[in-house]
Amino acid sequence: MALFRRAMALYGRAMALYGRAMALYGRAMALYGRAMTLCHGTLWSDHGTLWSDHGIYGGIMALFFRAMTLYGRTMALSGRAMALYGRAMALYG
């Protein structure tokens, strides 16, 4: 039983570390997506609207970068949840 608890504590710490890394990566992705949305996905950009000289391609780029921002925020949130779960598992173990 002691070996199982030790293994669970080690797994929990590893999970918490992975969760923190995932949250950091998610925040970076959200920041990048937001920056690219501002650069390419606004009315003031020549790439980011359906009415630009780039046509539908600009609209697709704008949607892609907005989706990247949302995905990054979701990843950051799930990473924080995983880190919290990992810490709880490490305490239990």
In a domain? residue 47: yes
Q: Which domain range does residue 82 map to? A: 7-92
In a domain? residue 71: yes
In a domain? residue 2: no
Is the separation of the CB atoms in 79 and 26 below 8 Å? yes
- pTM for this predicted structure: 0.68
In a domain? residue 1: no
Question: Closest Cα to residue 47, out of 30, 64, 31?
Answer: 64
In a domain? residue 50: yes
Per-residue pLDDT of the chain (93 residues; tens, 9 = 90+): 788 888 888 888 888 888 889 888 888 888 888 887 777 655 555 555 555 555 566 677 778 888 888 888 898 898 889 888 888 888 876
How many domains is the chain built from? 1
Q: Give the Cα separation of 7 and 12 in Å (integer).
A: 8
In a domain? residue 76: yes
Is the separation of the CB atoms in 33 and 25 below 8 Å? no
Is the separation of the CB atoms in 69 and 23 below 8 Å? no
